[in-house]
Amino acid sequence: MAGGPAPETCSALAGRVGQVEVVRAQPFVAGAFKPEGGGKTWGSYAPLPVSAGLCRVQGRIEGSIGFELWLPQDWNGRLLGAGVGGDAGVFNYRDMSLRIGQGFAVVTTDSGHKASDPHWMRGAKARADYEHRAVHLATQAAKALVRRYYAKPVDHAYFMGCSGGGRQALKEMQLYPADYDGVVAGAPGPYMPLQSVRMLWFALEQQRQPAAMLSDADWALYERRTFEACDKRDGVKDGVVENPLTCHAPTANLLCKAGQLQDCLTAPKLAMLDRIIAPLRDERGRAMDKGLLAGVRTRPGPPSPLLNAMWADALHDDPDWDARQFARSADLAAINAKMPQLRADSTAITPFLKRGGKAILYQGWQDPSTNAGPTIDYYAALARAHGGVTRLGHSVRLFMVPGMYHCRGGPGADSFGGSGHVPASGEAQSDILWSLIDWVEKTRAPAQIIATRREGEAVAFTRKLCPYPARAAYDGRGNSRWAASYRCVTDRAMARRLR
């Protein structure tokens, strides 16, 4: 096609188009990348060394939504959106630096505020941008800039994130089905308001009863004993429970015997543990959720800053809000009214499916922050709304990760190309992003994904991750360390939870 637009130079991208202002656009030569603000600002999103030359675009939208776009010299024709978790306010330099060498143009947004502003949730625009607007607007801006820089449009666009970044992936699928051809949603917390009520409630309960306050060591004891009871049931004693749904280890034997001071819980602590892992009850005793799966730890100590901000700043607009006024059901209703798009549990994804969109969800069974149960329940709701799990599986799959905590970590095999996983193999069989790309571009649905457990540089073991409701089953013959000795089989208890 003759007469098309010519590619623009990197620096020519600077300037303003509508509400999108490119503040700076500069070439960056491969090597160590040191963003403004230093490592502390970026935490787990801090960059790794960059292996490709790129054009670095720094911009803002509507004056307040920060975004950054990296345009590699050797572009693979794809755009990757890199999500940010927690209460955002930073850029996901980790996934950008991991994926730029694979040829993606990568975009990330702070979701409309800076981490340095602790009370950003008081602003209605900042809240809406955080809930859903910022990622969408940054995606649109990125697509337009890609088109100018390379003089051709994006071939395919993908989004990947974990935790709040996984929730961003779900929001894109639900609200903006044309933005991405495929999304990877890790530990997405689809019912974040309810999850937040649960976490705030048990943190406050423990503050009210200091003698029943559970420490990290108490939770570790509970986890260890539960795993000891259930570990071998999947045929392999490896410290990992393949399917916690079938693990029912009584907590009563954690109670300290007379004179016992270690490796046990006092009666008040045991009662607190039992309350926390049971379904959350509202003020009239009705269950608000299904409780925690066996062996799942929770965050010890006082409520996290994000929880406090949600209530003090977003809901009550009062930084001195007294948490003793917290009421489970009333405050859940109130936060859902105040931040209606914070939840990401809509099953109305037909526009995304009709476009041929694909989604992969992944979730650590042992996640203490965004618990596994709600992610399974959302997947079950999607299956019910879209003709059952087999039919849904043509477009959306959920991979549960045994023994994984929040996005990574824990006793299981926790490295499979998810958000922040280092290294990212770039091969569909062991890199969840590339398995999504194969699904979208080559119609090869992911039947399994190999996850690796690393101890330092060494590979300790590998495992197969399987599409829900399947789990990995040991064949009883091969070396139990390696994924080749496992196959994916449908698990009846997991299938039951879909109903």
Q: Using CB under 5 A, which of 87, 129, 234, 377 touches Ca ion?
A: 234
Cβ–Cβ under 8 Å, residues 59 and 67: yes
Binding mask 179-218 for Ca ion (x = CB under 5 A): ----------------------------------------
Kindly give the residue spans of alpha helices, DSSP state H, lying in 156-241: 164-175, 192-208, 216-230
- Asked if 223 touches Ca ion (CB under 5 A), the answer is no
Q: How many Å apart are CA 276 and CA 253, to the nearest integer?
A: 17
491 near Ca ion, judged by CB under 5 A: no
Please tell me whether residue 345 binds Ca ion under the rule CB under 5 A: no
Helix (H) or strand (E) holding 224: helix 216-230
Query: Coil, strand, or helix at residue 193?
Result: helix
In DSSP terms, 187 is beta-bridged to none
Is the Cβ of residue 96 or residue 241 nearer to Ca ion in the bound state? 241
| Pairwise CA distance, residues 418 & 435, whole Å | 11
Q: How far is the CB of 472 from Ca ion (least distance, A)?
A: 10
The span from the CA of 239 to the CA of 233, in Å, is 11
Query: Is residue 236 at the binding interface for Ca ion, with CB under 5 A as the rule?
Result: yes
The span of 40-48, 104-112, 209-217, 240-248 binding Ca ion (CB under 5 A) equals 240-248
**Binding piece for Ca ion, criterion CB under 5 A, among 16-24, 73-81, 238-246, 345-353:** 238-246
Residue closer to Ca ion by CB (options 236, 498) is 236
**Burial group, residue 34, by CB count within 10 angstroms (0-12, 13-18, 19+):** exposed
Q: Are strands 156-162 and 78-82 parallel, antiparallel or unpaired?
A: parallel
403/446 with CB nearer Ca ion: 403
CA distance linking residue 232 with residue 206, whole number of Å: 33
CA 229/CA 213 separation, integer angstroms: 25
With contacts defined by CB under 5 A, name the span among 35-43, 94-102, 231-239, 297-305 that binds Ca ion: 231-239
Which residues, at least 6 apart from 231, have a Cβ–Cβ distance to it below 8 Å?
237, 238, 239, 240, 241
Pick the piece of the chain touching Ca ion (CB under 5 A) from 94-102, 233-241, 311-319, 357-365. Answer: 233-241
* Interaction between residue 231 and Ca ion (CB under 5 A): yes
- Rank residues 110 and 234 by Cβ distance to Ca ion and give the closer one: 234
Count interface residues toward Ca ion (CB under 5 A): 5
CB of 474 to Ca ion, least distance (A): 9
In whole angstroms, the minimum distance from the beta carbon of 415 to Ca ion comes to: 18
Which DSSP category does 46 fall into?
Answer: P
Residues at the site binding Ca ion, with contacts judged by CB under 5 A: 231, 234, 236, 238, 240
